Amino acid sequence: MRPELFLLNIGAIFLLGIATDYLGRRTPLPRVTLLLLFGLLIGPSALALTPELFVAHFELVADLALVLVGFLLGGRLASEVMKQQTRQIIFVSLVEASGDVVVIAVGLILCGFDPALAIILGCVASATAPAATLDVMQEMEAEGPFVSLLTGVVALDDAWGLILFSLGLAVSSSLVGEALGIASVVAALWQIGGAVVLGVALGVPAAFLTGRLKPGQPILTEALGLVFVCGGLALWFEVSFLIASMVMGGVVAHRARHHEYPFHAIQDVEGPILVLFFVLAGATLELESLQGIGAMGILYLLLRAVGKIGGAWLGSRLSGVDRRIGRWLGVALLPQAGVAIGMALVAANRLPQYRSTLLTVVIGSTVVFELIGPVLTRLAINRTRGFSV
């Protein structure tokens, strides 16, 4: 790509972020959805104006964005408000994630679909979209018990999702006559356990060493260095970089007592990267996938919504959360993004007989949930302002 075209495209996308932020504050559509729609418009599915180089390197941008998001989520989880909700966060997230699996798997099986495929789809549905959810909260400058609970639940969703997916893949493999997939369970435990160990191993020394160049003031260079090293090592060791960076952020925020303020400066870099991430995510959406989604895809969309909303409501009731918060929590968790597609790709490689149906349903539903989900997250936050847990 010619350098002048590269710079023009990058500059245009960043300026677009300012315009979408302005529109997002004055329309019912959040910035995330507007950026995705713009990316979809300029992507291969519409006007095909996106440089091929950008789309080809989307995975790198996505990794950068999610590592930054994980670090910020970890810092939020270490706050005093979040510590008071730890039991509720763990319980609600577990019930919500597993409830989604049960609702989708049972619903699809009762409608006559293949049980092995139904179980995999149920496990894939447990994943959410932390980047989109966090961006909506930051755009709205939202605070309060509902936002704290939502932050914790969306942070843990992918961890539960990896565990449930590995178990579901093992069960589905045995149903189609393959050996019980113990290897997939071990791989998931390594992804999560290894990520936790890596996050702690980096977070403990980072908590002590950062904020020393300017006493009590951790600088942006320190934050970016930590985040990128964490992300690189996580990818190298093939563990979850989102969980690793989240654990590291939590450890730093909890143990760095000499910090006068946390790594808020990292949001100055996170903003432009998220703008690029969402535009490119929109450009990679394939509208053609909606054409073949079929009855199973429509049923999956409905059942995932029922599972998220019902599971979050049940978990909230059982853990003593205000019923008004529980009523809207599942609505805020509907966004679905790249983690679900990643799970679908793994399952498609393991069980190639389901590849076409699995990828069509998951990619098609991701298009819907990525565009509509942030709108519903924003609605839920607006409806719960002033509620107590």
**Which domains, ranges and CATH numbers included, belong to the chain?**
3-383 (1.20.1530.20)
Of the two residues 45 and 298, the one the predictor is more confident about is 298
In the predicted model, is pLDDT for residue 314 greater than 60? yes
Residue 293: per-residue pLDDT? 72
pLDDT tens per residue across span 51-82: 776 767 777 888 888 888 888 888 777 665 56
Distance CA 100, CA 103 (A): 5
Distance CA 212, CA 229 (A): 19
Distance CA 34, CA 273 (A): 16
Distance CA 151, CA 250 (A): 13
Mean pLDDT comparison of 3-7, 26-30, 204-208, 267-271, highest-scoring range: 204-208
In the predicted model, is pLDDT for residue 308 greater than 90? yes
pLDDT average, residue stretch 17-30? 76
Distance CA 49, CA 20 (A): 19
Residue 29: per-residue pLDDT? 79
Of the two residues 57 and 157, the one the predictor is more confident about is 157
Residue 322's closest CA among 148, 94, 132? 148
pLDDT tens per residue across span 238-263: 888 888 988 998 888 878 766 655 56
In the predicted model, is pLDDT for residue 201 greater than 90? yes
In the predicted model, is pLDDT for residue 336 greater than 60? yes
Among 13-22, 67-76, 95-104, 365-374, the range scoring the smallest mean pLDDT is 13-22
In the predicted model, is pLDDT for residue 216 greater than 70? no
What percentage of the chain carries pLDDT values higher than 90? 21
pTM above 0.85, yes or no: no
| Average pLDDT value over all residues in the chain | 82
In the predicted model, is pLDDT for residue 107 greater than 90? yes
Tell me the CA distances in angstroms from 120 to 115, 160, 172, 345, 370, one per residue in order: 9, 14, 7, 11, 20
